[in-house]
Amino acid sequence: MKVGSSSLRTAEGRLDADLATHLIDAVADLRERGVQVVFVSSGAVAAGLAPLGLRQRPIDLPRLQAAASVGQGLLVHTYQRRLAARGLAGGQVLLTPDDVVERARYLNARGTLETLLGLGAIPLVNENDTIATEELRFGDNDRLAALVASMLGAQLLVLLTDVDGFYEGGEVVPRLTELSSAIARHSRRPGSDVGSGGIASKLEAARIAAFSGAHSVIAHARAENVVHRTVLGEEIGTWCPPSRHRPESRKLWIAFARTPRGRIVVDKGAARALIERGSSLLAVGVEEAEGAFTVGDAVDVVHDGRVLGRGLSGLDRETVERVRGRPTEDLAEAGEPTRAVIHRDSLVVLPHVP
């Protein structure tokens, strides 16, 4: 379950302790009924503004980090105090993208979350904003929440926000199955002035959850009994079902944890080899490389204008430009790198985007 900054701050720019308490009570109720809940909470920056005398969300990184540092403590304190009143413990878990992208760190983070849940505690998750930089941050917590849901094999991702759901044509869409086209239509809409993701990042999060086999609900944080109603599967907000065609879940982190830094356009033969045979992408099938990516960066693999998948590049862009279209034997003779442009273990193919 995730709640956004826009919901958690009051009109005066402080943390809305009433809503925080109300949501924690709902989490505690679920926990008492045996439902395991991870609580991803935004609002560190928002909660840190007033105590630091800042009128609005700063745009410079040092002050954002400072606000998050002050606000995160307040947030967790508020949650832990209420959980304690209900006889429960809350454990703070602050994540960075590397905790999801790097396999060893991913397993480590997953272990921590599973242990907390196993001990009956409520993990209180946020991005580690105090040390996050522009280049290395999730930015919005929707994606972070979806990745955590994927990591834990959750059944349901609840995204609580300040609107009743995903709107189109002036009405809330009750059930959304065509996530990709909705994302394409809404990718440029900004969010509220304090939230950072907007609706597009919620739809992206729903897509990640769908690929992981989880349902998602986008609903208003202040709707009556919203948490219980979503868990009971009642009609509320916008419901996104899981995808029927899922890539291997262990590869989801490759596809979604990092923002792609470039695109690699491949020919028809390579596209077929990737989709049908699960092959690595070799230089010979590459037609073009776009963007300033380096070794280990996420890149989209494109054929015929369609994104086929995403992978971690084994070569930097300049090298891909040099080796593209050339068979491995030629490269060996010329003393060029012969390794795959993207190794199959670092490549996730998304043939059926919902």
Ligand X SMILES: N[C@@H](CCC(=O)OP(=O)(O)O)C(=O)O
Ligand Y SMILES: Nc1ncnc2c1ncn2[C@@H]1O[C@H](COP(=O)(O)OP(=O)(O)O)[C@@H](O)[C@H]1O
Backbone angles phi, psi at 348, to 5 degrees: -115, 125
The Cα 220–Cα 152 span in angstroms is 24
Question: Is 330 marked within a binding site?
Answer: no
Q: Which of 4, 165, 247, 354 binds ligand X (CB under 6 A)?
A: 4
243 sits near ligand Y (criterion: CB under 6 A): no
Query: Tokens in use for 302?
Result: 């494109």
Q: Is 78 in the site for ligand Y (CB under 6 A)?
A: no
Residue number, 98 or 164, with CB nearest to ligand Y = 164
The reply, when asked if residue 177 is annotated as ligand binding, is no
List the one residue out of 26, 32, 128 whose CA is nearest residue 79.
Answer: 26
- Shorter beta-carbon distance to ligand Y: residue 1 or 282: 1
Dihedral sign, Cα of residue 307, residue 309, residue 310, residue 311? negative
Q: How far is the CB of 8 from ligand Y (least distance, A)?
A: 8
CB 145 within 8 A of CB 151: no
To the question of whether residue 275 is assigned a binding role by annotation, the answer is no
Q: Which residue in the set 78, 80, 141, 150 belongs to the binding site for ligand X (CB under 6 A)?
A: 141
Other CB atoms within 10 Å distance of the CB of residue 149:
26
Provide the mask over 188-217, with x wherever binding to ligand Y is found by CB under 6 A and - wherever it is not.
-x-xx--xxxxx------------------
Asked if 7 is part of the footprint of ligand Y (rule: CB under 6 A), the reply reads yes
Kindly state the number of chain residues that form the binding site for ligand X, as judged by CB under 6 A.
19
- The answer to whether the annotation marks 87 as part of a ligand binding site is no
Q: Which is nearer to ligand Y, 42 or 346 (CB)?
A: 42
- Pairing type for strands 306-312 and 262-266 reads unpaired
209 is in an annotated binding site: no
Q: Which of residues 12-51 bind ligand X (CB under 6 A)?
A: 42-46
Q: Out of 163, 281, 298, 341, point to the residue binding ligand Y (CB under 6 A).
A: 163
Q: Among ligand Y, ligand X, none, what binds residue 45 when CB lies within 5 to 8 Å by partner kind?
A: ligand X
**Minimum Å distance from CB 35 to ligand Y?**
22
71 binds ligand Y (CB under 6 A): no
Dist CA 21 CA 224 (whole Å) = 14
166 counts as binding ligand Y under rule CB under 6 A: yes
Does 213 show up as a binding residue in the annotation? no
User: Which range binds ligand X by CB under 6 A, 134-142, 226-234, 291-299, 335-343?
Assistant: 134-142
According to the binding rule CB under 6 A, does residue 97 interact with ligand X?
no
Minimum gap (Å) between residue 316 Cβ and ligand Y: 34
CA-based radius of gyration for the chain: 21
The answer to whether 196 is a known ligand-binding residue is yes
| Residue list, annotated binding site for substrate | 42, 129, 141
| Residue list, annotated binding site | 2, 42, 129, 141, 161-162, 196-202
Contact positions vs ligand X (CB under 6 A): 4-6, 42-46, 68, 126-127, 129, 140-142, 191, 195-197
